[in-house]
Amino acid sequence: MEKKTERTQAGQFEVAFNRIHRCLKEMVKDANNDHFVELLNTGFKSHSIIRKYKNELYQFAKLRNAIVHEKVDVDYYIAEPHRKVVNRIGEIATHFEKPPLSTSIASAPVFYYYDDAYLKDVLKAINKFDFTRFPIYSRDHEYKGLLTSSDIIRWMAKQLTSNVISLANVKIQDILRPNKKYYVDFIAESTNLYEVEELFDKYHMEDKKLQAVILTETGNRNSKPKAIITPWDLLDPDATNS
C-alpha cells in the first residue's frame, strides 16, 4: 500500500478541518460539548459565518469521519477527497481564521455634513454620486442623525408652493429636526464582515430596521466617519470573496 503524507489531499483536508474546529471552539462557548457538529448546531444561531457555511461544514464533517475511520496509520489514508473539496475547505478555514473586514463592502469615503450646511450641497452630492444616506454632525462633531434622500423628497413635497421651491437658504438642520429617528449603529473599522451581519440580524430580531452602520476608527459615534454600510451593501454576492 502506498504511503500517504500530510501533503496528500486527505492530509490537507484534515488539517483544514482541524483549523475550522479550533475556530469553532473559540467562537462557541455555550455548546454541550466541543464536538464539531454540536458546535455547528449551537453556533449557527448567533454567528453569521457559521450560518454561511453550515451546510458545507456538515458535509465536510461526514467526509472527515469517513477519512479518519479509513485511516489505518499516521499519514496512511485509504480515502482521498477531491482536489476541489480540499481547496474549498481550505478557503473556508482561512475565512474562519481571518474573516474579511467590514471595509470590504463599505462605501468610502463617507459624504457627511454639518447640520448648518446648506441643503443644496447635499443635492449636488446626490446628483453626482447617487448616495442616499448622509450622517449629520454638529460643528463639535456630535452625531445628530441620518439624512436620507427620501427625507429630502418628503420635505420638498410639503414645501411646494406655486410649483416653486426656494432652496437658497435652507439648511440641513431645517429638515433634520422633524426627521424621524433612524436606527444607526457605529463600529470600529477593524470589525469583520460577519460581525456586521450579526449586527443587522440583531436589529432585525428586535423588529428594527438598521438603516446604516457607520465605521469610525474606534467605533465612537462622535468620531469622524471613515465608511458606511447600508442593507444594500450586504446583498453583494461577492462581498466575502474580496
Q: 92 and 108: one domain?
A: no
CA dihedral 116, 119, 121, 123 (to 10 degrees): 150
Q: How far is residue 126 from each of residues 37, 59, 130, 150, 155, measured CA to CA in Å?
A: 48, 47, 5, 11, 16
pLDDT tens digits for range 26-56: 999 999 999 999 999 999 988 999 999 999 9
Report the alpha-carbon distance of residue 68 to residue 79 in Å, rounded.
9
Q: 129 and 230: one domain?
A: yes
Q: 122 and 87: one domain?
A: no
Domain endpoint, select from 63, 80, 98: 98
Tell me if 2 is assigned to some domain: no
Q: 214 and 146: one domain?
A: yes
Domain membership of residue 16 as a residue range = 9-98
**Residue 242: which pLDDT band, with cuts at 50, 70 and 90?**
very low
Q: 89 and 108: one domain?
A: no
The grid cell for 201 is 440580524
Q: 134 and 92: one domain?
A: no
- For residue 89, give the 3-state DSSP assignment: helix
**What's the maximum distance between 2 C-alpha atoms anywhere in the chain?**
91
- Count: domains in the chain: 2
Tell me if 18 is assigned to some domain: yes
Q: What is the pTM of this model?
A: 0.79
- For residue 166, give the 3-state DSSP assignment: coil
Q: 92 and 112: one domain?
A: no
Q: How far is residue 173 from each of residues 2, 143, 144, 179, measured CA to CA in Å?
A: 76, 12, 9, 10
Question: Domain containing 210 — which CATH number?
Answer: 3.10.580.10
Tell me if 184 is assigned to some domain: yes
**Residue 78: which pLDDT band, with cuts at 50, 70 and 90?**
low
